[in-house]
């Protein structure tokens, strides 16, 4: 029988047995670079999405959420300059974490700022944004700055030589557990959908014009090829939830996982999601493998004796944090019929406030059989009707579609019950835009929001009429 002392021994070996920080440091650099790119993507459309006068304006945010979500904007003047400063500091924090300057504090800054930005534009965010917030939060407690950093250089350990520094990997383990649970949740959600069970799900993903980037080979678009791609996705994701913990299988699974997300990046417009997932997969790379690459690249034959960083936080405090976080991550991702699932209601306010929540339901459990978008018709009192559409359409170049991805998310969220407020927010934003362009003298009577659905061809499509574009009136906003 497994005794308590054996359990403690396994627990300590898993969370606290020191190992080189090499892999964690490489992931820190990549994550910092991704934060810089993410900040630049936010910057280009900040006046539309984050501005006090944007789609989800400061007044609308206070009306919907008030103080229920953390954001530094609640502490700053509601001006465009505040938005610019926050975004500038966010980009700077990514640069500093990549360089490894005061690393823990810069990760705290990155996490607080990205949480603030995401909450101010919460209705334009996706599952990748949620994972970014969580990973930045966990990185705050890590030894990611112990090697290959300015911090290591200032401590006299050498920039490259410091990669051999050893430290307790408990924070790295939490990130690995979190990723495994997300994959488990993804598979569980997908298996609830008939398209995933019958092997046709990938067809709807690659046929959706909102996501298309590069076309896949013709042979893969057959019924058999689609079934292989669908079940391959499920098997790989399940493997990363379960089999990744088997050391002998880990290298092959990492390579397969990287290829899967690289394929998703090539074929689907998911902005930074696939890149973030690939960075997270690298967290499972054996530190000795990373050190071997470092030796080869830097031509190092001798390195300094490893320095074990024990940390100053007590063993009890760290174990309490580990236990609480694992418990939270488990019940948050557990199926609805789990005995402990009702406890989620108790922690939801705090989890939502700090931005540690995630939905992780992309392409699951069901997939759209139509390409979805919205258009707004502005009715003036003189009888003229003008049409406004979000800046996202299939005619854009691949780079444009990558940059404008959040416009797609905005259009989709107009239909979701949780983000019902986006409808009137978008209508009010369009009214403000029209008044800037046409002046206040022209009175606007109302704005109507239409769902635009373009059905996708699948294996069951028989009539050309099945593919006709449909417009359905969804919401009417009357100007008072």
For 433-480, what is each residue's pLDDT tens digit? 888 888 878 889 999 998 888 887 666 655 455 556 777 878 888 887
For residues 378 and 385, the answer to whether their CB atoms sit within 8 Å is yes
User: Are 74 and 170 found together in one domain?
Assistant: yes
Rg (C-alpha) for the chain, rounded Å, is 24
Q: How far apart are CA 118 and CA 71, in angstroms?
A: 9
Q: How far apart are CA 470 and CA 390, in angstroms?
A: 17
What's the whole-number mean pLDDT along residues 152-162?
Answer: 87
Please report the pLDDT score of residue 303 as a whole number.
Answer: 61
User: Are 115 and 176 found together in one domain?
Assistant: yes
The answer as to whether 55 is a domain residue is: yes
User: Are 322 and 399 found together in one domain?
Assistant: no
Q: Say which residues have a Cβ less than 8 Å from residue 259's Cβ, sequence separation at least 6.
A: none
User: Are 105 and 212 found together in one domain?
Assistant: yes
For residues 91 and 459, the answer to whether their CB atoms sit within 8 Å is no
What's the whole-number mean pLDDT along residues 338-355?
Answer: 89
Q: How far apart are CA 106 and CA 83, in angstroms?
A: 19
- With tokens 């400061």, the residue in question is 58
The answer as to whether 397 is a domain residue is: yes
What's the whole-number mean pLDDT along residues 156-175?
Answer: 90
pLDDT digits (tens, 9 = 90+) for 381-428: 888 899 988 876 666 777 888 888 888 888 877 776 678 888 889 899
Question: What one-character DSSP code corresponds to residue 369?
Answer: S
For residues 124 and 49, the answer to whether their CB atoms sit within 8 Å is yes
Return the percent helix, strand and coil in the chain, to nearest 5. Answer: 60, 10, 30
Name the domain boundary from 321, 353, 385: 353
pLDDT at 202 over 70: yes
Q: How far apart are CA 357 and CA 182, in angstroms?
A: 12
The answer as to whether 430 is a domain residue is: yes
Crossing angle for the helix pair 103-120 and 22-44, to the nearest 10 degrees: 30
| Alpha helix positions (H), 191-249 | 194-197, 201-207, 223-241
Question: What one-character DSSP code corresponds to residue 472?
Answer: E
| Alpha helix positions (H), 273-390 | 273-281, 287-298, 315-333, 344-353
The answer as to whether 10 is a domain residue is: no
For residues 452 and 375, the answer to whether their CB atoms sit within 8 Å is yes
Closest by CA position to 409, among listed 56, 147, 138: 56
What is the 3 state secondary structure string of 250-282? Answer: HHHHHHHHHHHHHHHHHHECCCCHHHHHHHHHH
102: left (phi over 0), alpha (psi -120 to 50) or beta: left
User: Are 165 and 26 found together in one domain?
Assistant: yes
Distances (CA, A) of 401 to 39, 71, 117, 126, 224: 17, 28, 21, 16, 30
The answer as to whether 4 is a domain residue is: no
Name the domain boundary from 353, 387, 412: 353
User: Are 410 and 342 found together in one domain?
Assistant: no
Distances (CA, A) of 378 to 288, 392, 413: 62, 19, 20
The answer as to whether 7 is a domain residue is: no
Please report the pLDDT score of residue 7 as a whole number.
Answer: 85
Coil, helix or strand for 455?
strand
User: Are 379 and 345 found together in one domain?
Assistant: no
User: Are 410 and 318 found together in one domain?
Assistant: no
Number of domains in the chain: 2
User: Are 308 and 446 found together in one domain?
Assistant: no
Query: What are the φ/ψ torsions at residue 455 (nearest 5 degrees)?
Result: -55, 145
- If pLDDT is split at 50, 70 and 90, which confidence band does 334 have? confident
**Half-sphere exposure (CA, 13 Å, Cβ side) for 235?**
9
What's the burial of 408, exposed, middle or buried (CB within 10 Å: 0-12/13-18/19+)? buried
User: Are 261 and 180 found together in one domain?
Assistant: yes
The answer as to whether 35 is a domain residue is: yes
Distances (CA, A) of 326 to 21, 97, 181, 257, 299: 22, 26, 10, 23, 40
Please report the pLDDT score of residue 394 as a whole number.
Answer: 60
User: Are 151 and 22 found together in one domain?
Assistant: yes
Q: Among 111-120, 193-202, 261-270, name the most confident range.
A: 111-120
Please report the pLDDT score of residue 458 as a whole number.
Answer: 67
* Token pair for 290: 């990373």
The helix (H) or strand (E) run that includes residue 166 is strand 166-167
- If pLDDT is split at 50, 70 and 90, which confidence band does 126 have? confident
When the pLDDT of each residue in the chain is averaged and rounded to a whole number, the result is 87
Q: How far apart are CA 477 and CA 359, in angstroms?
A: 29
Closest by CA position to 332, among listed 141, 184, 122, 142: 184
With b meaning 16 or more CB within 10 Å and e meaning fewer, what string describes 6-25? eeeeeeeeebbebbbbbbbb
Name the domain boundary from 353, 382, 406: 353
Please report the pLDDT score of residue 100 as a whole number.
Answer: 95
The answer as to whether 8 is a domain residue is: no
Range of the domain at 69: 17-353
User: Are 384 and 345 found together in one domain?
Assistant: no
* Token pair for 296: 């080869």
């Amino acid at each position: 029988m497994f005794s308590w002392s054996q359990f403690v021994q396994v627990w300590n070996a898993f969370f606290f047995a020191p190992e080189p920080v090499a892999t964690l440091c490489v992931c820190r650099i990549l994550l910092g670079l991704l934060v810089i790119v993410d900040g630049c993507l936010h910057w280009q459309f900040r006046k539309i999405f984050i501005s006090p006068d944007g789609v989800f304006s400061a007044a609308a945010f206070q009306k919907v959420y008030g103080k229920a979500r953390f954001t530094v904007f609640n502490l700053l003047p509601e001006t465009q300059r505040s938005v610019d400063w926050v975004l500038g500091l966010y980009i700077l924090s990514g640069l500093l974490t990549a360089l490894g300057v005061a690393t823990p504090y810069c990760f705290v800054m990155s996490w607080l700022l990205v949480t603030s930005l995401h909450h101010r534009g919460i209705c334009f965010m996706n599952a990748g944004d949620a994972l970014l917030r969580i990973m930045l939060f966990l990185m705050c407690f890590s030894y990611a700055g112990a090697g290959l950093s300015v911090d290591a250089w200032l401590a006299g350990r050498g920039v490259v030589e410091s990669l051999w520094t050893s430290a307790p990997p408990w924070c790295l383990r939490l990130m690995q557990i979190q990723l495994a649970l997300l994959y488990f949740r993804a598979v569980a959600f997908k298996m609830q959908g008939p398209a995933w069970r019958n092997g046709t799900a990938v067809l709807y993903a690659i046929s959706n014009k909102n996501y298309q980037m590069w076309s896949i080979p013709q042979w893969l678009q057959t019924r058999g090829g689609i079934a292989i791609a669908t079940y391959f996705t499920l098997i790989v994701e399940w493997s990363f939830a379960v089999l990744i913990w088997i050391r002998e299988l880990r290298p092959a699974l990492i390579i397969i996982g990287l290829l899967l997300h690289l394929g998703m990046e090539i074929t689907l417009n998911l902005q930074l999601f696939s890149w973030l997932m690939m960075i997270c997969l690298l967290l499972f790379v054996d530190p000795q493998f990373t050190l071997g690459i470092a030796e080869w690249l830097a031509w190092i034959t001798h390195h300094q004796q490893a320095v074990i960083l024990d940390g100053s936080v007590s063993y009890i405090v760290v174990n309490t944090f580990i236990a609480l976080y694992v418990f939270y991550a488990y019940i948050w991702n557990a199926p609805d019929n789990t005995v402990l699932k009702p406890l989620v209601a108790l922690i939801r306010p705090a989890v939502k406030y700090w931005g540690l929540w995630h939905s992780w339901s992309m392409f699951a459990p069901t997939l759209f059989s139509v390409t979805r978008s919205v258009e707004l018709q502005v009715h003036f009192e003189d009888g003229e009707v003008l049409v406004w559409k979000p800046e996202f359409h299939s005619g854009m170049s691949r780079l444009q579609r990558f940059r404008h991805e959040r416009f797609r998310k905005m259009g989709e969220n107009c239909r979701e019950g949780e983000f019902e407020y986006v409808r009137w927010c978008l209508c009010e934003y369009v009214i403000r835009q029209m008044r800037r362009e046409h002046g206040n003298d022209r009175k606007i009577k109302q704005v109507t929001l239409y769902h635009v659905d373009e059905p996708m061809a699948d294996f069951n499509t028989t009539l050309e009429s099945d593919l006709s574009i449909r417009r359905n009136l969804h919401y009417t906003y009357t100007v008072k």
